[in-house]
Chains A and B, each alone.
Chain A
Amino acid sequence: MALDAASPSAAPPAIELRGISKAFGPVQANRNISIRVMPGTIHGIIGENGAGKSTLMSILYGFYHADSGEILIDGRPTRIPDSQAAIRAGIGMVFQHFKLVENFTVLENIVLGAEDSGLLRPSLARARRELRQLAKEYELDVDPDATIEEIGVGMQQRVEILKALYRKADILILDEPTGVLTPAEADHLFRILGNLKAQGKTIVLITHKLREIMAITDNVSVMRRGEMVATVRTADTNPQQLAELMVGRKVLLRVDKAPATPGAPVLEVENLRVVDAKKVERLKGVSFTVRAGEILGIAGVAGNGQSELLEVLGGMMRATGSVRLKGRPLDLSGREDARDRREVGIGHVPEDRQSEGLVLDYTAWENMALGYHHRDAFANGPFIDRPAIMKNTIDKMQRFDVRPPDPMLLAKSFSGGNQQKIVVAREIESGPDLLLVGQPTRGVDIGAIEFIHKQIVALRDQGKAILLVSVELDEILSLSDRIAVMFDGRIMGERIASETNAGELGLLMAGVTGEAA
């Protein structure tokens, strides 16, 4: 279904790629990719992690060189050997991880690399004037003299966009721009993008969120395993069709689950407070309860205390207040560590699987036993029972569909989704009464998301309690039975999942309480 996105006018495409291929060693990241992006449109590129979206855009921005193929900008063949050439060709890029100097001011960041002369003063003065102009034109207000570390992520993203505009970019590429934004900030971003489009700028939006594609793009291209599988007009498609194109098979977008049948309270948290090393209060009196057989989702923008909450419950951080597991109080003073928590029946799928969930340089079988290696099933006295762990690992790898199912492979050689399946398998199979789950599907492809969600629901249906922390609102909404929203170290409100919606939660995530909304 190579439906061509027809152009409204005779103008040449702003970007045309012809037959781009790029391999990293044996991995073919991009295979014979052709795409046409019409000027003055918002063009979405969607695909799973590892589908080759970022590689393709990096080629366009001069970070990588294509092995073969052609790039045309405004109809003219253009060579882009480095970022400087991309900037000259009018291409601006807003990366997923911002490329800003934290202790520089906004102004300095904007000027960096685009200075007028050897001396800074005139460049800074000109940037200040143009910034005022751009702010007016596009709703891009920032304080030019604030340092980057002082401003929030939404603001930082605006600085990135301003950087591109200051360099006279006509084509703006945004890589997963809403990952770090609240729904309100995302809406503001979309308004800005709308303004830019109205001024004739061309925008390429790379994302894995179907909702965003449907909301603001004119055309959408779908990538799968390094290939461009389709380009369609957004108006002519729907999320279900796009998801199937991305994955290459039928997928279930909604989590299929029966209503919860909550039992007795398993986890009771009361007035939990955490003050971090910098004397900043991260949790300001958090209270909630998770019952057996239910999933409590904690929604919120990253950095509002969710990570600290998981670390306290997982035995990695001290706190004050009271936490009871099945009626028995947990020690929060730091005397009990992560192993003690596992022993009383708390499983933990940490937020950052690469640094906290796995040892990347260990094999799959070693990782499968990690944290439980001292248990009788895995050990003979002080010695590790390797055959037992090996057998257990092979079994788990099969049941949790870890690919490739090779217990000798190093953890770092697995894809993000399969790494996560290893962690999830280990924690679920340890038989916890309470499972802490942080960002279970961050950097995980749709197929694996579906599988991991099923496993979590299955655990719930066995009558276990689950505390789910995720910054993906869609995930929270579809997986949770009840939802608590965190903002600035507090719970802003609790809702029944089936009785709320993204709009209501979005307000709570921004710190607006029910009465004010």
Chain B
Amino acid sequence: MDWNTVLLLLDSTIRTATPLLLACLAGLFSERAGIFDIGLEGKMLVSAFLAAGFAYVTGSVWLGLLAGIAGSLLLSAIHGAASITFRGNQLISGVAINFLASGLTVVVSQSWFGEGGRTPQLGDGGRFGEVVLPGAIRLSEMTIREQRELPLLTRFYSDVLSGHSILTYIALLAVPLSWWVLYRTRFGLRLRAVGENPAAVDTAGISVRRLRYSAVAIAGVLCAIAGAQLSTAEPAAGFIRDMTAGRGYIALAALIFAKWRPWPALGACMLFGFFQALETRPDIFVRLFDLRVPSALLSAMPYILTVIILAGFVGRAIPPRAGGEPYVKER
């Protein structure tokens, strides 16, 4: 295996990790506030559809993103109403949202575009292009031989780090930002408190409901960006049915793997993204170990690792204590 393969693998790791990371951070905000969110998947899907649809109609990828955010926020509001205001079961509400999203996106896109549940191919203005970082070399303009002669670090920078959509960089920046918000601001302190012991927040004279709604809304926005990345960031060129393909659940697995902390979430998502990238390159195993690894095994890896974590083999993963429970003032 040469360096080229490694770089390509890492490049696609970052790309596939982007929606995972955004969804994982979305889950992190929501669950740290005590609201379980199975509906990451559905929110991503709705946003992916609306982002592609509106980008196609308006010709502006940014208007598409806005539409995606609006749609995702709407689902967040439903989840919030069900689980915060009406104290319903958060898992059921999340599952309902996923079904709703899976069905609605197909029906609506068929009725709008008549292309069998997909959106038309997006042209150049309609999707997020590759951002070339300052100082990065455009490798596509060089021959393989010329590329090989460049220092490895330059190639890593130009090939792996540079050349992703703006949304990928937003996702990467969201990690330190989330950490800072959670651990260095008043809002973060209160958010973490409300997921651990809402009664403490309530008796301190702070609205539990408002905090939890804010957390759910933040999750909505992050899911929306994740969805937009799937359908409108190059090389993607439009929405296809159920295109999230379980990423919402993998993100939840990553969240547990990361023990509900932002920096480990980055690591977990990169690891899971790496497995997904490997899935598309079964030839690597054959070449390296002369071993045919079934791709189903690779796609199951995130879940297998999560089960191992949950079983307590790699330190215990303790979820936020008030997670999943509606807050009722005690008498």
Q: Chain A: which residue is nearest B186 at the CB level?
A: A115
Q: A202 to nearest B CB, angstroms?
A: 19
Residue pair B189, A108 in contact (C-beta under 8 Å): yes
User: Does chain B have a CB within 8 A of A93?
Assistant: yes
Binds B, one of A118-126, A291-299, A376-384, A501-509: A118-126
Q: Could you say which of B196, B203, B205 contacts A102, with CB atoms under 8 Å apart?
A: B196
Q: How far is the CA of A304 from the CA of B200 in the complex (A)?
A: 27
Q: How far is the CA of A419 from the CA of B168 in the complex (A)?
A: 59
User: Does chain A have a CB within 8 A of B85?
Assistant: no
Contact A99-B197, Cβ < 8 Å, known A93-B203, A113-B190, A113-B206 = yes
Residue pair B186, A83 in contact (C-beta under 8 Å): no
Q: How far is the CA of A109 from the CA of B196 in the complex (A)?
A: 12
Q: B201 to nearest A CB, angstroms?
A: 7
- Proximity string of chain B (299-331) to chain A, C-beta cutoff 8 Å, 1 when within and 0 when not: 000000000000000000000010000000111
- Proximity string of chain A (80-118) to chain B, C-beta cutoff 8 Å, 1 when within and 0 when not: 001111110000010101011111100011011111011
Q: B97 to nearest A CB, angstroms?
A: 29
User: Does chain B have a CB within 8 A of A362?
Assistant: no
Q: Which residues of B contact A63 (CB under 8 A)?
A: 329
Q: Chain A: which residue is nearest B321 at the CB level?
A: A102
> Per DSSP, are chain B's interface residues mostly helix, strand or loop, or mixed?
helix
Q: How far is the CA of A201 from the CA of B93 in the complex (A)?
A: 48
Q: Could you say which of A82, A104, A163 contacts B193, with CB atoms under 8 Å apart?
A: A104
Q: Which residues of A contact B185 (CB under 8 A)?
A: 118-120
Residue pair A100, B200 in contact (C-beta under 8 Å): yes
Q: Which residues of B contact A55 (CB under 8 A)?
A: 331
Contact A82-B189, Cβ < 8 Å, known A102-B197, A102-B321 = no
User: Does chain A have a CB within 8 A of B112?
Assistant: no
Contact A118-B186, Cβ < 8 Å, known A24-B331, A84-B205 = yes
Residue pair B200, A109 in contact (C-beta under 8 Å): yes
Q: Could you say which of B186, B196, B204, B329 contacts A103, with CB atoms under 8 Å apart?
A: B196
User: Does chain A have a CB within 8 A of B115?
Assistant: no
Q: Could you say which of B192, B203, B321, B331 contacts A99, with CB atoms under 8 Å apart?
A: B203
User: Does chain A have a CB within 8 A of B199?
Assistant: yes
- Proximity string of chain B (89-132) to chain A, C-beta cutoff 8 Å, 1 when within and 0 when not: 00000000000000000000000000000000000000000000
Q: B316 to nearest A CB, angstroms?
A: 10
User: Does chain A have a CB within 8 A of B210?
Assistant: no
Q: How far is the CA of A54 from the CA of B330 in the complex (A)?
A: 11
Q: Could you say which of B184, B193, B330 contacts A112, with CB atoms under 8 Å apart?
A: B193
Q: How far is the CA of A113 from the CA of B331 in the complex (A)?
A: 22
Q: Which residues of B contact A115 (CB under 8 A)?
A: 186, 189
Q: Chain A: which residue is nearest B190 at the CB level?
A: A112
- In the complex, chain B residues 175-232 whose Cβ is within 8 Å of any chain A Cβ: 183-190, 192-193, 196-197, 199-206
Q: Which residues of A contact B184 (CB under 8 A)?
A: 119-121
Contact A101-B196, Cβ < 8 Å, known A95-B203, A112-B201 = yes
Residue pair A99, B199 in contact (C-beta under 8 Å): yes
Q: Which residues of B contact A99 (CB under 8 A)?
A: 197, 199-200, 202-204
Q: B116 to nearest A CB, angstroms?
A: 49
Residue pair B205, A100 in contact (C-beta under 8 Å): no
Residue pair B200, A112 in contact (C-beta under 8 Å): yes
Q: Could you say which of A58, A84, A119 contacts B186, with CB atoms under 8 Å apart?
A: A119
Q: How far is the CA of A119 from the CA of B205 in the complex (A)?
A: 19
Q: How far is the CA of A100 from the CA of B204 in the complex (A)?
A: 10
Q: Could you say which of B183, B197, B205, B206 contacts A101, with CB atoms under 8 Å apart?
A: B197
Q: Which residues of B contact A87 (CB under 8 A)?
A: 204-205
Q: How far is the CA of A373 from the CA of B329 in the complex (A)?
A: 37
Q: How far is the CA of A112 from the CA of B200 in the complex (A)?
A: 9
- Residue with the greatest number of chain B CB neighbours at <10 A, chosen from A54, A113, A114, A163: A113
Residue pair A111, B202 in contact (C-beta under 8 Å): no
Residue pair B196, A82 in contact (C-beta under 8 Å): no
Residue pair B189, A111 in contact (C-beta under 8 Å): yes
Q: Which residues of A contact B321 (CB under 8 A)?
A: 102-103
Contact A112-B196, Cβ < 8 Å, known A24-B331, A102-B321, A118-B187 = no
Q: Which residues of A contact B200 (CB under 8 A)?
A: 99-101, 109, 112
- Proximity string of chain A (306-333) to chain B, C-beta cutoff 8 Å, 1 when within and 0 when not: 0000000000000000000000000000
Residue pair A112, B205 in contact (C-beta under 8 Å): no
- Residue with the greatest number of chain B CB neighbours at <10 A, chosen from A54, A112, A120: A112
Q: A330 to nearest B CB, angstroms?
A: 32
Q: Which residues of A contact B189 (CB under 8 A)?
A: 108, 111-112, 115, 120
Q: B187 to nearest A CB, angstroms?
A: 7
Q: Chain B: which residue is nearest A119 at the CB level?
A: B185
- Residue with the greatest number of chain B CB neighbours at <10 A, chosen from A24, A87, A115: A115
Residue pair A113, B205 in contact (C-beta under 8 Å): yes
Q: Which residues of B contact A121 (CB under 8 A)?
A: 184
Q: Which residues of A contact B205 (CB under 8 A)?
A: 62, 82-87, 113
Residue pair A114, B186 in contact (C-beta under 8 Å): no
Q: How far is the CA of A95 from the CA of B331 in the complex (A)?
A: 12
Q: Which residues of A contact B202 (CB under 8 A)?
A: 83, 99
- Proximity string of chain A (14-56) to chain B, C-beta cutoff 8 Å, 1 when within and 0 when not: 0000000000100000000000000000000000000000110
Q: A176 to nearest B CB, angstroms?
A: 14
Q: Which residues of A contact B183 (CB under 8 A)?
A: 120
- In the complex, chain A residues 130-170 whose Cβ is within 8 Å of any chain B Cβ: 163
Q: B118 to nearest A CB, angstroms?
A: 44
Q: B4 to nearest A CB, angstroms?
A: 46
Q: Which residues of A contact B331 (CB under 8 A)?
A: 24, 54-55, 58
Q: How far is the CA of A84 from the CA of B206 in the complex (A)?
A: 7
Q: Which residues of A contact B203 (CB under 8 A)?
A: 61, 83, 93, 95, 99
Residue pair B204, A83 in contact (C-beta under 8 Å): yes
Q: B179 to nearest A CB, angstroms?
A: 13
Q: How far is the CA of A83 from the CA of B192 in the complex (A)?
A: 20
Q: Chain B: which residue is nearest A104 at the CB level?
A: B193
Q: Which residues of A contact B193 (CB under 8 A)?
A: 101, 104, 112
Residue pair A117, B204 in contact (C-beta under 8 Å): no
Q: How far is the CA of A10 from the CA of B17 in the complex (A)?
A: 72
Q: A345 to nearest B CB, angstroms?
A: 39
- Residue with the greatest number of chain A CB neighbours at <10 A, chosen from B185, B186, B190: B186
Q: A395 to nearest B CB, angstroms?
A: 34
Q: B309 to nearest A CB, angstroms?
A: 18
Q: How far is the CA of A109 from the CA of B192 in the complex (A)?
A: 11
Residue pair B196, A113 in contact (C-beta under 8 Å): no
Q: Chain A: which residue is nearest B197 at the CB level?
A: A101
- Residue with the greatest number of chain A CB neighbours at <10 A, chosen from B188, B193, B202, B329: B193
Contact A117-B186, Cβ < 8 Å, known A24-B331, A83-B205 = yes
Ranked nearest first, the 10 interchain pairs of A and B with the lowest CB-CB distance are: A113-B204, A84-B205, A83-B205, A99-B200, A115-B186, A99-B203, A101-B196, A101-B193, A101-B197, A99-B199
- 5 A-B interface contacts by CB (under 8 A): A83-B204, A83-B205, A97-B330, A112-B204, A120-B186
Q: B residues near A, CB below 8 A?
A: 183-190, 192-193, 196-197, 199-206, 321, 329-331
For the complex with contacts A113-B190, A123-B186, 7 further pairs of A-B residues with Cβ separation under 8 Å are A83-B202, A84-B205, A99-B200, A100-B197, A102-B321, A112-B189, A120-B189
